[in-house]
């Protein structure tokens, strides 16, 4: 059998490797690994969301093909939510598209924008689907180095002029995965200027805007004047509302990009199951109280883990948002993958090596806040034994 050369360009997932190693450790040692790897919420959605799904699935008309772009009532709810949350006005008919999860849209938008050989600017470290989408479009990735010295923002001035002129699109992610660094309106203004000058389409992944701490409210890229002229913003119900398995998200912004992505998806799928769309409406209409409580839970987990690691001499920066810690390796360790594998094998704690997200992830591990507080304390105890 012969397969696509695109597949050959896609690296074997470190996530799969770590999961295989986890299964081996559990079988060999007879222990339960504390999994702080995958960023999947460990708690169920709001009762009202589950009730909406439960009631909708009994409807006789719920099993027809849904519309590719989403129901009108959900697109209106998304536009209303954007106005309430970010004070950004959207045309629900032209500037809103419902997705089968934001990852679905992040991958397919590359096929809507890129031709073979085109260049896309990709954050490094960055969420792996950005690179995968570029590869599947037969395009070329140009990495944007995100370093602590520059507060994990790309330096647009360091990008060669010929790359700027050739690039067609750019991914950004603030607050991010794996780096939970927050975006700022000043940075987004700089981004709009850069994109406008170089005719680059910006795709901002804002999936973590509703997981923020200490009173911080992450901004939207679209709050900046001119942002809608150069790009779009993706959102997910997975992290905000614990609906990861429901596979629903959305993209908003530039109408031409929305139309192009809609055309791609119209040739691939028939949209999101209608009961899930109804539940998404319920989620948006009840978001304030739910989001506030959810943030309290994750903030408590963040503080417990950071405090515990600090007591071991492992100082980790305290993020303002996202469900991850981006932790420099403890003193005496230099290889992210070696450290993560050793920790898993010897202590039964699973973290993701930073190199899973790009070469500039070396020297870091990503820690997901996806376990209850007692398990986070147990993880600290196990790490303590490992670091001795």
Radius of gyration for the chain, computed over Cα atoms and rounded to the nearest angstrom: 21
pLDDT at residue 74 is higher than 90: yes
Q: What is the pLDDT of residue 303?
A: 98
> Is the backbone of residue 27 left (phi > 0), alpha (psi -120 to 50) or beta?
alpha
Nearest to 41 by CA among 372, 332, 374, 379: 372
Q: What percent of the chain has pLDDT over 70?
A: 99
Confidence (pLDDT) at 25: 96
> Within 13 A of 153's CA, how many CA atoms are on the CB side?
15
The CATH architecture that domain 5-44+289-387 belongs to is Alpha-Beta Complex (3.90)
The mean per-residue pLDDT over the stretch 121-132 comes to 97
- Alpha carbons 388 and 373: distance in angstroms, whole number: 23
Fold agreement between 5-44+289-387 and 47-286: no
- What per-residue string of b and e applies to 154-188 under the rule 16 or more CB within 10 Å gives b? bebeebeeeebeebbbbbbbbbbbbbbbbbeeebb
Q: What is the pLDDT of residue 12?
A: 63
Q: What is the CATH number of domain 47-286?
A: 3.40.640.10
pLDDT at residue 53 greater than cutoff 80: yes
What does the pLDDT average to over 212-222?
A: 97
**Domain residues of the chain, as ranges?**
5-44+289-387, 47-286
Question: In whole angstroms, what is the distance from residue 299 CA to residue 214 CA?
Answer: 8
Over residues 134-187, the pLDDT tens digits come to 999 999 999 999 999 999 999 999 999 999 999 999 999 999 999 999 999 999
Q: What is the DSSP letter of 67?
A: P
Model confidence over 54-71: pLDDT tens digits?
Answer: 999 999 999 999 988 999
Query: What average pLDDT does the segment 301-328 reach?
Result: 97
**Would you state the pLDDT for residue 38?**
86
């Amino acid at each position: 059998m012969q397969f696509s050369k695109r597949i050959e360009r896609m690296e074997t997932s470190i996530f799969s490797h770590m999961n295989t190693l986890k299964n081996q450790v559990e079988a060999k040692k007879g222990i339960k690994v504390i999994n702080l790897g995958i960023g999947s919420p460990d708690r169920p959605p709001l009762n009202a969301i589950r009730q909406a799904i439960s009631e909708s699935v009994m409807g006789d008309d719920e099993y027809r093909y849904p519309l590719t772009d989403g129901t009108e009532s959900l697109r209106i709810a998304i536009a209303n939510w954007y106005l309430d949350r970010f004070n950004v006005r959207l045309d629900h008919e032209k500037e809103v598209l419902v997705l089968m999860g934001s990852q679905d849209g992040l991958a397919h938008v590359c096929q809507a924008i890129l031709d073979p050989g085109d260049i896309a600017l990709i954050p490094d470290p960055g969420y792996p689907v950005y690179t995968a989408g570029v590869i599947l479009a037969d395009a070329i990735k140009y990495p944007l180095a995100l370093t602590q010295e520059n507060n994990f923002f790309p330096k647009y001035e360091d990008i060669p002029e010929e790359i700027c002129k050739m690039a067609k699109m750019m991914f950004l992610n603030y607050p991010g995965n794996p780096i939970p660094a927050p975006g700022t309106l000043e940075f987004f203004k700089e981004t709009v200027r850069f994109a406008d000058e170089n005719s680059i389409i910006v795709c901002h992944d804002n999936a973590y805007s509703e997981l923020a701490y200490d009173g911080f409210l992450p901004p939207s890229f679209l709050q900046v004047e001119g942002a809608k002229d150069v790009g779009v913003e993706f959102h997910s119900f997975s992290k905000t509302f614990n609906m990861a398995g429901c596979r629903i998200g959305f993209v908003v912004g530039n109408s031409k990009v929305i139309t192009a992505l809609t055309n791609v998806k119209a040739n691939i799928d028939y949209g999101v199951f209608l009961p899930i769309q109804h539940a998404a409406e319920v989620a948006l209409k009840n978001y304030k109280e739910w989001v506030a409580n959810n943030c309290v839970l994750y903030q408590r987990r963040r503080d417990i883990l950071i405090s515990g690691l600090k007591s071991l001499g492992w100082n980790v920066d305290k993020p303002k948002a996202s469900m991850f810690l981006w932790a420099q390796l403890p003193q005496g360790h230099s290889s992210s993958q070696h450290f993560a594998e050793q920790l898993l094998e010897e202590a039964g704690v699973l973290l993701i090596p930073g190199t899973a997200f790009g070469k500039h992830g070396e020297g870091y591990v990503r820690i997901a806040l996806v376990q209850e507080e007692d398990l986070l304390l147990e993880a600290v105890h196990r790490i303590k034994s490992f670091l001795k």
